[in-house]
Amino acid sequence: MKTNTKITGKDLINLGYRQGKWMQEALVYINENQLQGDALQSYLEQYKLPDPLPLHKTPVDFSINIKAENELEEDNVSKVINSMQTLMKTPTLVNGAIMPDACPTGPNGTIPVGGVAVAKNAIHPGMHSADICCSVMLTDLGKVNPKDVLDAAHANTHFGPGGRDRNTQFRFPKELLEAFENNYFLKDQQMILAARAHLGTQGDGNHFLFVGTSKKTGNTMMVTHHGSRGPGARLYTKGMKIAERFREILSPETLKQNAWIPFDTVEGQDYWQALQTIRQWTKTNHEVIHNSVSESLEIAIENRYWNEHNFVFKEGDLFYHAKGATPLDAKFMPDITGPRLIPLNMSEPVLIVDGATTKTNLGFAPHGAGRNVSRTQHRKSKTGSIMQIFKEETRGLDVRFFSKEIDITELPSAYKNAQTVRNQMEEYGLGNVIDEVLPYGCIMAGDWQKNAPWRVKREKRRRNKS
């Protein structure tokens, strides 16, 4: 490099440094101080990046707590195992497991639903997915008519897109607001507006409000299933962008969906704290719905417990990423108040379980029944009218769709055989069933898109043209 010549970004790249935002500030300092030789190398040492981390040559071993019992399941299990083998080449991963409800989602190498991936000193946003802290909560309401509870719940809950209008919003707790305002990832105004509006809402898809009776006590119990709604989705998007920046520097070979945020960075610390705040928001989201039902019926709450199944759990320097896996081990839940909940489908009991950690379950159980085929495949496989299918599969149950439109892809036949899941839970040591909530009925979003405003407008334009 010639003396007294202005040093450029190209010169630094030729010296082996990677282009980045740091270069502009560094070049100003270098040229103002006319750094050369050893002085230049000494200054640039602070910007030297570690060598990129390669993928593991062979997948890290993981436990397979699932087996195929028919041809349809063989295809599903094969895809799950193949995706998990690709995933387990990610440099940060040290252990993993798949559960009996496992099903593939996304391209090969994406953590499957029913998957657990254990990383060292790294948080992988793609491994907890956009529905951060998707979870279930149970409230024991004692000896009360299940229909009264379902009616009250129908009047108080909210399913479908968007949030509540200002007149029907629940009070946003002051301590939660402060937690949002004090976190880098959560403090923007749009995030806080979503957190206010979506409190007391359940979204769509497989989210539900289930009412039934305890097999042991006969008490009426209400179970809700939903996640962190808009706030969680926004945090996931931000987290993936930060993780991608680190991936480009630390491990370009790693699949984009498996990018990570190093825990020992400022970003890692802030993201971890953001996850805890979103967890508390989601728990509060369940609570306001449950409390509103008990208050409207003027009945006391006898018991309550909850658990998440889309989250990241920390033990020392290990981060357990559960994508649709229920934590059995109490060490994963700082606010544990009871056993865990595993719903299967609307016609089956919600299982109340406890259990011990083993080498193969890593402290987790299934989160439900899972699917063998996609929604589209299931819809194509059904014959008869939607109403016929609905009546046949929900006979004896009070099943309601908030949008007033039936979604047949949420009926029992859309899911894996519940008894198969229960049998494999027992076979692989994935929790002990200590009680069951026998189904009375449930509420789900339904096919809200059928009459969505954008669809109605599009259909109206089409008719006007014809």
d(CA 15, CA 13): 5
d(CA 172, CA 369): 34
99 annotated ligand binder: no
Task: Please enumerate in sequence order all residues whose Cβ is within 8 A of that of 201, keeping only pairs 6 or more positions apart, or say none.
Answer: 157, 158, 159, 162, 163, 164, 226, 229, 285
Q: What is the dihedral of CA 96, 98, 99, 100, to 10 degrees?
A: -160
Nearest to 144 by CA among 286, 296, 305, 339: 296
Q: What is the dihedral of CA 80, 83, 86, 91, to 10 degrees?
A: -90
226 annotated ligand binder: no
343 annotated ligand binder: yes
321 annotated ligand binder: no
Task: Please enumerate in sequence order all residues whose Cβ is within 8 A of that of 368, keeping only pairs 6 or more positions apart, or say none.
Answer: 101, 206, 324, 342, 343, 344, 345, 415, 421
Q: Residues for the chain: how many in total? A: 466
310 annotated ligand binder: yes
26 annotated ligand binder: no
339 annotated ligand binder: no
309 annotated ligand binder: yes
d(CA 18, CA 427): 52
d(CA 339, CA 328): 8
Which is catalytic among the residues 128, 198, 286, 367? 367
Please calculate the CA angle 104-108-114 and round it to the nearest 5 degrees: 30
- Identify the sign of the CA torsion 283, 133, 187, 160: negative
Q: What is the dihedral of CA 210, 213, 215, 218, to 10 degrees?
A: 160
In contact, 156 and 290? CB cutoff 8 Å: no
303 annotated ligand binder: no
d(CA 7, CA 9): 7
318 annotated ligand binder: no
226 catalytic? Reply is: no
CA-to-CA separations, 288 to 139, 145, 292, 302, 384, in angstroms, rounded: 12, 21, 6, 16, 39
In contact, 308 and 327? CB cutoff 8 Å: yes
Which residue, chain included where needed, has tokens 């920046």? 245
CB hemisphere CA count around 349 (13 angstroms)? 16
Question: Binding site membership for Mn(2+): which residues?
Answer: 207, 225, 309
**Which residues contribute to the annotated binding site?**
207, 225, 309-310, 343-346, 367-370
Active site (catalytic) residues: 367
Residue ranges of the binding site for GMP: 309-310, 343-346, 367-370
